Amino acid sequence: MLDHVEIVFENMKPMMKKLKKKNYKINMEEFLETYGHYFQEMTEMTENAENKDAAADEIARIFADCVEKKFTSPKKGKIENVVQLDLNFFMIYYIFPAILKTEHEDAKLIADHIRDEWSRRFKDSDIQYTDYDSLYAAFREKIFGIF
């Protein structure tokens, strides 16, 4: 059940670097091709559950546990602020849109529970989410090669 889900963050730094409209589209396509099965597994877990809220809570807890375990600094015993900031941005740009991109009826429920667990678990991480199309549309196109 979501074994090694923390691996979805392995290319976080390069995927967030020089984030432009064209790169974002390519990055998201590669991200979904490589890790999409995790998000499908999440929707299968809620779909097959008698109590969808409890299943979404379990998904959120497992997801946050894996992230916390992978990114907690052994020296400080917590996730460093700069790393947490990167994680938050990655959640907004890739994780939540990937969940919603499944277009499953439980996708929003899963995203809500992960967002709430994330906010409770991690310092300064009261984040919101949106879908891929909204984010993609928010990127500006180059105008006369200037922007």
- Summarised one tens digit per residue, pLDDT across range 59-101 is 999 999 999 999 999 999 999 999 999 999 999 999 999 999 9
Q: How far apart are CA 94 and CA 77, in angstroms?
A: 26
pLDDT of residue 147: 47
Tokens of 10: 């392995």
Please count the structural domains in the chain. Answer: 1
pLDDT of residue 7: 95
pLDDT average, residue stretch 121-133: 95
Largest CA distance in the chain: 55
Domain extent for 39: 12-138
DSSP state at residue 131? -
**Distance of CA 31 to CAs 9, 76, 90, 95, 98, Å?**
10, 30, 12, 9, 8
- 25 belongs to a structural domain: yes
* pLDDT single digits (tens) 37-55: 999 999 999 999 999 999 9
- 1 belongs to a structural domain: no
- 27 belongs to a structural domain: yes
pLDDT band at 142; cut points 50, 70, 90 = low
- 144 belongs to a structural domain: no
Q: How far apart are CA 28 and CA 2, in angstroms?
A: 20
Query: Could you tell me if 116 and 59 are in contact, meaning their C-beta atoms sit under 8 angstroms apart?
Result: no
- 5 belongs to a structural domain: no
Q: Tell me the torsion sign for CA atoms 26, 14, 117, 71.
A: positive
- 17 belongs to a structural domain: yes
pLDDT of residue 2: 86
| Mean pLDDT score of the chain | 93
- 129 belongs to a structural domain: yes
* pLDDT single digits (tens) 131-141: 999 999 998 76
- 145 belongs to a structural domain: no
